Structures are given as C-alpha cells and as structure tokens.
Amino acid sequence: MELKGKHTALVKEEALRLGFDFCGISKAAFLEEEAPRLEKWLKENKHGQMSYMNNYFDKRLDPRLLVDGSKSVISLLYNYYPEKNQTTGVPKISKYAYGKDYHEVIKEKLHEFLFSLKEKIGNISGRAFVDSAPVLDKAWAAKSGLGWIGKNSNLINKQNGSFFFIAELIVDLELEYDGAIKDYCGTCTKCIDACPTNAIAEPYIVDGSKCISYLTIELKEEIPSEFAGKMDGWAFGCDVCQDVCPWNSFSKAHNQPLFSNERLLNFSEGEWDEITEETFNIIFKNSAVKRTKYKGLKRNLQFLKLH
C-alpha cells in the first residue's frame, strides 16, 4: 500500500511539473455504464459521417485491450482558454485551434511523463493518448473526479470550467484511485437553448451530425442547406455551448505561448475574404485548422457568405 501511495504522489507531482492543470486516476476496467450509451448513439447515427466511431468498439470501452496488462488510467487536463479572442465580426475559429496543434504539444509532454515515470519507478509499460485513439477520454476524466459530463457532453471542471484538452496515460502500474464527483449542471439548460443548430438533442446527448464542429471539420461534402443561417459565423469548430456555460466564468487564461497566434487573432474580414492557399499554409502551418484543409475552410467561408 505504501508503495502504491508513493507512486501515486509521484504521478501527480509529475503532472503538475509538466504543466497539466489537473490529474486524476482510475482503475483500468471495462466501462459498463458507457457501453449501452455508445451503442445507442451509434445505432441512431448521431456520429454522422464519422465512421471511425464505429471502429474498435471493444477497445473504446476497455483500456486493457489497448495496453496489455494495464492497471491504471491517468487522466490529465491541459488548459487552452485564451487571454485574447479574435477580432469581432470575422469568421470564427474555435479557441482550441488558436495556436499550435494541441496533439503535438501534449503528445510531447506525455512522452516525457512516461519516460520520467520509467526512470523513477523502473520497468513499467504504458501508452500515451491525446484524442487520437479509441479512448473515451471524457468518461475516464469524469471517472477519476476531474469533473462531470455536462448537458453539452463536455467535461466540466468545478474550478476552471471546460476549456481543456484531455489526455491519458494508460499504464501497467497499480495506483491509488480517485472517485467520480457529482453532476453540478442542476436545472440549467443554457447550452441546449443556445446551440444554433439544435445539436443537443436532449440533455447529455449531442447529435454529432448537426453539430457545427462536425459540419465545419468532419463533414467532407457540402454543408446541407438546412443549416443556412444557423452557423453563427463559425468557420472552424464552435464554442457556443461552452461560451454560455456558467461554469466557464471560472476559466483562467492559459500560459502556454504555443497556443497563441497573434496573426490569426488580428486577421481582418477582408483578409478572410481573400485568403489564398499560400496564406492558409503560413497562418495555419502547425494548427489544428489544417485538418479541414484549405478546400474545406474555403467551403465553410463560402457557406457563411452565402447564408
């Protein structure tokens, strides 16, 4: 028991040293509650064209199938709430994409984390995940007490709201486990009422195929005309349900310089209108916006202009 406690303290110290804001730990096991929910969501086609959500169903629900002999899921939150927003009146980009692609920034930290644990504890094995493998990261973060899943299906942290990236280390090391906390959404429905496309079908259930983030990033075809006039100016992603959430009044600005891009924040309406592929490649060189490619961004901008 003593060793377990020592290792747990070490994990939490390392998380803070590497700049993670919160760290919680869960026992690696099958996610019983999430299984029927995920199955129902997929059957009802709420994932739209995100066909990858159908893949690795078992692995999504059981980390032991991803990492042999895994015993613990270490969940981590990394703040991306910006100090400054874009110029008003221009096509909007989701806050998480303001700076360098978070995958690259956080993956590097996770590898350092794992290396450091191996150095201090000895022969342990594990894998790092940041939104790039079949891991139900929000479910694990909630299970380890880092917050609760809100009515907009985002993880909400009581101290700092929901503008966080979630990452995991799944390791074959036994640790002391944290417990889930209660849901503090109460009777609030601000996120449901504010969603421009009514994507929050009911509390805690988001119809991905109607979500502006899906329409501007995941959807590869033309945006359906039924969403004309409902895009609320978003060209990449959407923050509406987070912006209206009362818990985000507690959000504090991040201190990660890689997540800021002054050029993007000051991009004028005229510059958006005339954006060329060359400018796109310069401004979004290391950004998550590259996921939609120049063609996708132009499609989104065109749709906003026409409607």
Instruction: List, by residue number, the catalytic residues.
Output: 131
Q: Are 172 and 124 in contact (CB under 8 A)?
A: yes
Angle at 170 between CA 167 and CA 175, to 5 degrees: 110
Decide: residue 204, CB within 10 A, 0-12 exposed, 13-18 middle, 19+ buried: middle
DSSP 8-state assignment for residue 161 = B
What separation in angstroms does the CA of 183 have from each of 75, 143, 147, 244, 274? 18, 12, 8, 18, 46
Please, which residues have CB within 8 angstroms of residue 44's CB and are 6 or more apart in sequence?
none
Q: Are 78 and 164 in contact (CB under 8 A)?
A: yes
Name the phi and psi angles at 10, rounded to 5.
Answer: -65, -45
Q: How many residues does the chain have?
A: 307
